[in-house]
A and B are shown apart, each in its own frame.
Chain A
Amino acid sequence: MSDITAQSHHHIDVREFHPRAHAAIHNPKIRQNFRKAMDGLMAKRKAAFEGWDLETLRDLGANIRLKALSNLPDLLEQLEQKLTENGIKVHWAVDGDEACRIVRDICMARDAKTVIKGKSMVSEEMELNHYLQDQGIEALESDLGEYIVQLADETPSHIIMPAIHKNTGEISELMHEKTGTDLSNDVEYLTASARQQLREKFMNADVGVSGVNFAVAETGTLCLVENEGNGRMTTTVPPCHIAVTGIEKVVPSLEDVSALLALLTRSATGQHITTYFNMISSPRKGEELDGPEEVHVVLVDNGRSSIYQDDELLDTLRCIRCGACMNHCPVYTRVGGHTYGTTYPGPIGKILMPHLIGLDEGRHLPTASSLCGACGEVCPVKIPIPDLLVRLRQESVDGDRLHPAKVRGHGAKRSTGEALIWKGWAWMHASPGIYRLGTGVAAKFRALQPSKAGAWTDYRTAPKLAAKTLHQRMKERGQ
């Protein structure tokens, strides 16, 4: 593992995208781990949707998410009311820091010293683990992938499979070094060892923290998708459960969940359904034998309501966090998740993170795409990811006087030199006479064409100018 790709997230500068990409591309292990994993995930997704009318289902998924978003403020109020009626305490956080403080305050009120965590990308946004640690509260990840990433003091490299950048051998070495397990390539042995260590932690944890996949407004139900049972343990064994979620995860009714769930699990891991699907609707009731005595929900904004203000950017919030866009992304497959230096990597990260960190820090993110459209094609809720990338490119160079940029940090990538080049380019291509003259002269003196053309010719030969342009040849034909 190279130091650059594996560094802990305390020191990551998102702007250093290129050096990290360089390191990843020249790291055969990274390349191989991602290629193999992504090929597998693509094949599984394809098989899982076989026989389904996928386009109709994606339309349905997109419509459900759009409907929910168009009604978001009302749905959130309804959700708060239902959750409260169900005995779940609701908290609102404007950003990650406030969300962290809320979790800390709940822990402190209970004199909690240990927290066990289920998988939650919002808690990664909040950087909750490090915050709690600084407050003297131990936070342990219980999702196997997250557990591995935490042992390595790394961040997740994929939103569904956090440790996908590591192969079995690397995981074995890590667990041996940090927890004393035997070196072994036996996945069952490694899993059983982790399971045993985690089991004790579950029994002793004071608080369980989880994410949320869907929050149902009509019934006040929190839905949680998982495969390892750690989500159920996290939300039922400790006496207090805190669910953290982005405000966009709310859907109107349970009926909406079935279509989204069908899309989510198939798109993510190619599963028809996950091993566990948890529906949490209240703390333990008087006569019940298990379940937490306290349940809290922290509804986190963290930039989402500003995305919500724009009719086009709003589509970003449709996301149900399946990860299919990264599984199918040729750039993500080459550079891996850590190269992005952001909580969410890959295509969804490129359109979401600029809102969370600003376009000044995230200036390279929207450009790191060939706009091939594979992400938009597989997105289960039809987020037009390539269009949003183009929109953010426009924002990052303040490139449209008709539609002024509005994302925080816009214009950070505009340089006088590049702006001038495009101005000159536009002048030439908006003046057909000049264009024909210029291309005609270039064709005539093509022998003088340089064989080097910047970064292009580091990998390829330069395209060769033709002796006559198509304009000239069509004119000769009388056309």
Chain B
Amino acid sequence: MSDPIKVYPSKPQKVYYFGTCLVDMFYPDAGIAGVELLEREGIEVIFPQGQTCCGQPAYTSGYHDEARSVARAQLDLFPEDWPIVVPSGSCGGMMRKHYPSLFKDTPEATQAAEIAGRVWELTDFLLNVCHIKLEDLGEPVTVAMHTSCSARREMGVAEVGPALLGQLKNVNLVEQVRPEECCGFGGTFAVRHPEISGAMVEEKVGTLVDTGAREFVTTDCGCLMNIAGYAEKNGKPIQGQHILSFLWERTRGNTGGQS
């Protein structure tokens, strides 16, 4: 009944990297930052060029036949036993939590369940599998953080981001009011119910700005384009970045820190 306890693997030689479609098209810098961080930890990164999307947009829209056909195209990309790391709690949650039910009663059921068990959200993997030690080379800065709902609730990594930022000595992490409340993205929800989504992101940006921070980081590109896009359109004084980009930029050039 309780969510299964996460059993972290020991640090592997290699990982598969599932970049996600949003990172692919809109935020490849965040994807590369994730790769750099892994490589600095001495891990070889395998990026299957055949990857596209986890299938989540169709899945949450109820089009499960279409979601299954897209997800099925990803299943053969990870033939060896290496962990699959994902720079997103949302796509990670889709693969880890929903692939088993999506492929129930299909010939791929066993394969999908096996793959699901190897999926890790990337910051969680860096902290709890690589035991990464970050050395901050950046100027003092105040940042806020928004952990995506799927990173928080499906992948259970709410403490990971703050723990990683906490390793950076010049970073002052401030917490907004109601940090656990959704930013209003929700995939197709944002266009099916634009006014409700708009009201949610308006309040989220308000609470982030109220912290005094002028930068925020987040685990997911969906939240990033929602929150940062609202702030930009409405002239709110805060900018966003994927947490992986932030971590990499502040520690790059640093060859130490390997565990």
Contact = CB atoms under 8 A, between A and B. Distances in A.
Contacts of B189: 367-371
Contacts of A387: 101
B52 A457 contact: no
Nearest to B202: A459
Contact of B49 (A376, A419, A429, A432): A432
A94 interface: no
Interface in A454-479: 454-466, 468-471, 473-475, 477, 479
Given A330-B200, A372-B149, A430-B70, A473 B32 contact: yes
A115 to B, nearest CB: 38
Contact of A459 (B24, B31, B73, B230): B230
B17 to A, nearest CB: 8
A371 B149 CA distance: 8
Given A429-B70, A460-B226, A466-B25, A367 B193 contact: yes
Interface in B134-149: 149
A335 B17 CA distance: 40
Interface string A329-360: 01100110000000000000000000000000
A299 B94 CA distance: 40
A464 B232 contact: no
Given A370-B186, A403-B105, A479-B45, A334 B57 contact: no
A430 B72 contact: yes
B233 A461 contact: yes
Given A439-B25, A458-B194, A468-B28, A370 B2 contact: no
A23 to B, nearest CB: 10
Interface residues of A, number: 74
Nearest to A465: B25
Q: Which of A435, A443, A468 has the most CB of B within 10 A?
A: A435
Nearest to A472: B28
A335 B196 contact: yes
Interface string A399-426: 1111100000000010000010011011
Contacts of A393: 60-62
B95 to A, nearest CB: 14
B70 A455 contact: no
Nearest to A398: B62
Interface string B171-184: 00000000011101
Contacts of B69: 426, 430
Contact of A62 (B1, B31, B53, B234): B1
Interface of A: 18, 21-22, 25, 31, 55, 59, 62-63, 330-331, 334-335, 367-374, 376-377, 382, 387, 390, 393-397, 399-403, 413, 419, 422-423, 425-426, 428-432, 435-436, 439, 442-443, 454-466, 468-471, 473-475, 477, 479
